[in-house]
Amino acid sequence: LENLIIHVVEDVLSDPRAQKLERELVAALDLMSQKLDRNRRRPWAWDTRRERWIPQTSSTKLTDLEKICLPELKYFIDGYKTTHQSFERKAARQAERHPPYRVKVAVIDNGVVLVGNNAKSSICAQIRDGQSFVLKGAEVQPWWHAIGPHGTQMTSLICAIDPCCEIFIARVGDSDNSGVTPRRLARAIRWAIKKQVDVISISIALTLSHPKLDTAVSDAVNSGIAVICSTTDNLSSGERTYPAQMLGTISVAACDKYGRMLNWSKEEKKSYRINGKDVLAGTVPYVASEERITGNSVATAIAAGLGSLILSCCRLVERKEDPKNLIENYFKGMTLDPKLQYIEPKALFSKQGLEQGYQEPKEQFDVWTRIVEKFGGDTGWKN
């Protein structure tokens, strides 16, 4: 060895920690050099460098996801975001005004990557808190430093659809969500309940349950939280999957853009179908990832984002129903064929879609008319 360069990657360290680590490295290498120089004929050189890790691929912006993931809602989301932010600015200037409500969404997955360039993205701006339930030995693995892209991509989809929601991250798995147990999932749901979230997105399907998981899901549902769960991607499995099969959850299965179930997708209970095929989710820095992904988990994240957007809009026009019932009512209205259960985002602006499946269609229709008028944009409402 003639030349040694040690790179201190600042993305995964705080500034004080990076400085301390660099000092320790310099001291250790200096001591090592002195010992080696006495026993070597040729000198060797070493250096330490603090720098940021620049990913080889550029990460897709959330605004791009919004345009391509749900192009039918692009103009509506733009108007919604602008109006929501305008209300917040007015509330900040006038003490007697209350800021608009931000829907709280818990994402239970394998954590997120919040380092480097990605830390400055919109996903970071929307995250309010996080908790890891994954242990390696006696050490808790950080929720903000995932070793796989799944949780980051699911969160990105939700944030793209509702750019004004608040995100709460619960890490329960590793890179491919391996090691997730019913008890660990139950603890994450309990944590989400304590955070008073409105929506829980679970892009995980287990083949075993546990009384603690049953109780946690039941408590979440009974408190009015919309618990949106993925069905299994394993068509050959005849086993039930949890928590999608549990009473009160909103289960989601992936289909193509025509509402046809994917070959490996399994529809359980009364699952809503959402297009989860070849969806743009963006690459994630530092971990192997694909721009476009497919699966029930993708459809589940889109459902959670749609649910958050619907709930936020309804709160802005002072609808006070609990999140679960309100979101399910609108989902029913967005399934133009009740037998198919295929949610079409464009149906959000369809009178036929809104009136279908509601107990009080005129009230629902009038409310959404007010929402569309408020957020405007080229929504296709008049079509």
Question: Domain residue spans in the chain?
Answer: 1-34, 62-362
CB–CB of 50/10 below 8 Å? yes
Q: Quick check: 268 pLDDT over 60?
A: no
pLDDT tens digits, 49-68: 876 654 444 456 666 766 66
pLDDT tens digits, 109-146: 999 988 654 444 568 889 999 999 998 888 899 998 88
Most trustworthy range by pLDDT among 170-174, 263-267, 361-365: 170-174
Residue 349's pLDDT band (cuts 50, 70, 90): low
150 given a catalytic annotation: yes
CB–CB of 113/152 below 8 Å? yes
Task: Give me the pLDDT at residue 157, please.
Answer: 94
> Does residue 69 or residue 227 have the better pLDDT?
227
Alpha helices, DSSP H, located in the chain: 15-39, 62-69, 74-93, 122-126, 150-161, 182-194, 211-222, 296-316, 323-333, 351-355, 361-375
Q: Is the pTM of this model over 0.95?
A: no
The overall average pLDDT reported for the chain is 80
Residue 267's pLDDT band (cuts 50, 70, 90): low
Fold held by 62-362: Rossmann fold (3.40.50)
Residue 381's pLDDT band (cuts 50, 70, 90): very low
Task: Give me the pLDDT at residue 236, please.
Answer: 52
297 given a catalytic annotation: yes
What is the C-alpha to C-alpha distance for residues 181 and 36, in angstroms, rounded to an integer?
50
Residue 376's pLDDT band (cuts 50, 70, 90): very low
Q: Quick check: 362 pLDDT over 70?
A: no
> Does residue 172 or residue 266 have the better pLDDT?
172
Pair of tokens at residue 288? 């192997």
Task: Give me the pLDDT at residue 151, please.
Answer: 94
Q: Which of 156-170, 227-241, 268-282 has the lowest mean pLDDT?
A: 227-241
Task: Give me the pLDDT at residue 238, please.
Answer: 60
Catalytic option among 84, 150, 201, 271:
150
Task: Give me the pLDDT at residue 379, please.
Answer: 36
Catalytic option among 156, 297, 308, 312:
297
Residue type, 137: G
Q: Quick check: 366 pLDDT over 60?
A: no
Catalytic option among 109, 174, 198, 233:
109
pLDDT tens digits, 166-205: 999 999 998 776 789 999 999 999 999 999 999 999 999 9
What is the C-alpha to C-alpha distance for residues 159 and 151, in angstroms, rounded to an integer?
12
